[in-house]
Structure 1
Amino acid sequence: MHYMETKLWNKAMELAELACRSVVRLPGEERYGIRLQITRAAVSVASNIAEGWTRESKSERRQFLAVAHGSLSELHTQLLLCGRLGWLPSDSLAIPLGLIDEISRMLTTLRQRSRPA
């Protein structure tokens, strides 16, 4: 199966799109601060899922999925901080935070299944 056909990658792409669209609401002075970090983390999740999916060895695949999971946690933290600071309204965070939870569960399951016995 190609990574573009997976539910996991498609959810990660949906999250990246939402995150990239939401950062335009942030204060202009944050263009090179948290705004850039959010964009990079969101893109990293989908990118590392794609790269891991195409790797030959299971250990390489696990490593890229772990990086994707780490980037997902970064994004989660950054969005929560924006909510706490009032930079993003809490109602605009509901969908991205729900996707983060769903993607995290999927990554956890996939990573557990790929661990050596």
Structure 2
Amino acid sequence: MLYRDLVVWQKAMDLVVEIYRLCQSFPAAERYALVSQMQRAAVSIPSNIAEGHARKSTGAFVNHLSIAAGSLAELETQITLAERLGFCTGETSLTLLASTDEIGRMLSGLKTSLTNT
């Protein structure tokens, strides 16, 4: 199985696209601040899933899934901050946070399945 076959990687990639689209509407002054941080955190999620899978070691994969989960929590914080600053609507924030919740559950489930084998 390739990492690209993992549904959690696919959903994380979709989330990256949504974050990039959202950030296009942010003020120019945020380009090197919140926009940059949100984009890096979002990209880190599927990137760490892919890197961990490619290492062909269960321990390394689990470690990278933990890093992805950390980036996911960072992104959730940034989405909430973007809403508080008025850069996105509550509806957009809720939609994105629903995606992060789902991805978080999937990461947790994958980590559990790998450590129980």
- Give the alignment's TM-score, normalised by structure 1: 0.94
How far off is 1:95 after superposition? Answer: 2.4
Quote the Cα distance in structure 2 between the aligned partners of 1:6 and 1:21: 23
For structure 1, the 5+ residue unaligned runs are none
How far off is 1:81 after superposition? Answer: 0.6
Give the paired residue count.
117
For structure 2, the 5+ residue unaligned runs are none
How far off is 1:51 after superposition? Answer: 0.9
Partner of 1:64: 64
How far off is 1:83 after superposition? Answer: 0.6
- Report whether the alignment pairs 1:18 with 2:18: yes
How far off is 1:91 after superposition? Answer: 1.6
Structure 1 segments of 4 or more deviating over 4 A?
A: none
- Report whether the alignment pairs 1:102 with 2:68: no
For residue 85 of structure 2, what is the amino acid of its counterpart? Answer: L
Quote the Cα distance in structure 2 between the aligned partners of 1:116 and 1:109: 11
- Report whether the alignment pairs 1:9 with 2:9: yes
- Give the alignment's TM-score, normalised by structure 2: 0.94
Quote the Cα distance in structure 1 between the aligned partners of 2:24 and 2:16: 13
Partner of 1:51: 51
**Kindly, what percent of the aligned residue pairs are identical?**
40
1:73-94: per-residue Cα shift (whole Å, max 9, x none)?
A: 0000000111111111112223
Partner of 2:92: 92
